Amino acid sequence: MKISKEVARRFLLVHHHLLPARELEGKNDILAYIEKVSCIQYDPLDVVGYNPYLVLQSRVKGFKPWQLQELLYQDRLLLDGWDKNMAIYLVRDWPYFERYRKEAKELYGNMLGDVSLALLVVQEQLEKGPLSSLDLKQDEKINWYWAPTKTTRAILESMFLWGDLVIHHKEGTRKIYDLAEKCIPKEVLYAKDPNDTDEEYYAWHVRRRIGGVGLLWNRRSDAFLGISGMKSKERQAAFQLLEERGEILSVFVEGIKEPLYLRKEDEALLYEVREEEKKVSFLAPLDNLLWDRKLIKELFGFEYIWEVYKPKEERKYGYYVLPVLYGDRFVARFEPSFDKKNRVLRILNWWWEPGVVVTREMKETIKEALDDFLVYLEGDYIDWIRPFNL
């Protein structure tokens, strides 16, 4: 099957409900989108909302963070876990990550060493209800994988990673833990890992990531981060197995030598023709669409590097920069900041992409999108720090 880059771009954007933008509504659609892409990535930085909020505001009309919070911590249909690094995924997927939890128990159990007394204290406190490390009065420290920290905090983190605990809720970035058996249905919590072999597990996870992006190639990619133990050999075998079973299909895109793959159930989207009104979306730095940035450069001609961890003097653009999508093209990027105290959205910088012809219609659509973005942030007004051609 051969397709043009335009068809590939439109397929991806329809797959991600970005064409048209913000057509989804309410919690049911949020849940359905996460089910479709398997997970959305979490990051603790909060410049204009956490990464999952940014992912959803670009797809869900009138999105508010409480909608995702309810799905996580009241409805218990989603949970915080480890998939594409830190992520949010469906509770029903819990059994598939048993391999990861076993590895975590061995790794972090060995790191903890003999802390049996402290562990007993933590377990006793958890029986009384949800808690965070601040609720445990202990000053002893342990050399942990990122820095010396309180033993009780290391225990809570370890018990979470190996599956004894889940995140009951969060207060900002502070995690409040509870026993998994209190929050996950027993038929899910104690279900057998559906993948009997490592080969089956890798194939399941590769298929999951293909659906997470929409189109992926069989090469090293950031889209495969977090799949423990999977090297090139295992990835190749997974693609071969999935193709033999007919679970994935290959397509050749003009100008790209190697094939791209999509899930069989997504094939119909290739033939959808949508002449929708052009809208603007502001994408999250870790948006599913951007998981493979080399692929995005090939298909959209847009190069995006998240520079948040680069020293200031090495940044080409800014600290926290969001791509601007107009129709099926990236036309700009900008650096926002939100003053929560004064409810002000500040646009610190704006960069048009080379070759973009800025029209009146485009400007008006961008202004409308900024108004929607301000509503999402529950802000009062927008402050342009420097003059821009808008």
Q: Following DSSP, what letter does each residue of 137-205 receive, concatenated?
A: ----EEE-SSSEEEHHHHHHHHHHHTTSEEEEEEETTEEEEEEHHHHS-HHHHTPPPS--SHHHHHHHH
The enclosing domain of 111 has a CATH number of 1.10.10
Domain of 151? 95-183
CA angle 345, 34, 12 (to 5 degrees): 80
Confidence of residue 377 (pLDDT cuts 50, 70, 90): very high
Give me the chain's average pLDDT, please. Answer: 93
Find, among 352, 346, 355, the residue nearest to 389 by Cα: 352
Task: Flag whether 56 is in a domain.
Answer: no
248 forms beta bridges with 263
Query: Over 70: is that where the pLDDT of 388 sits?
Result: no
Of 130, 164, 183, the residue at which a domain comes to its end is: 183
Confidence of residue 20 (pLDDT cuts 50, 70, 90): confident
Centre a 10 Å sphere on the Cβ of residue 235 and count the other Cβ atoms it contains.
20
Confidence of residue 276 (pLDDT cuts 50, 70, 90): low
Confidence of residue 127 (pLDDT cuts 50, 70, 90): confident
The enclosing domain of 321 has a CATH number of 3.40.630
Query: Over 70: is that where the pLDDT of 233 sits?
Result: yes
Task: Flag whether 344 is in a domain.
Answer: yes
Of 127, 148, 183, the residue at which a domain comes to its end is: 183
- Rounded to whole angstroms, the Cα distance separating 44 from 64 reads 18
Task: Flag whether 287 is in a domain.
Answer: yes
Find, among 5, 2, 17, 10, the residue nearest to 275 by Cα: 10
Of 121, 155, 183, the residue at which a domain comes to its end is: 183
Task: Flag whether 198 is in a domain.
Answer: no
What pairing do the DSSP bridges indicate for beta strands 260-263 and 248-253?
antiparallel
Centre a 10 Å sphere on the Cβ of residue 176 and count the other Cβ atoms it contains.
18
Q: Under a CB-based contact definition with an 8 Å cutoff, are residues 149 and 156 in contact?
A: no
Query: Over 80: is that where the pLDDT of 187 sits?
Result: yes
User: Residues 51-93: pLDDT tens digits?
Assistant: 999 999 999 999 999 999 999 999 999 999 999 999 999 999 9
Task: Flag whether 85 is in a domain.
Answer: no
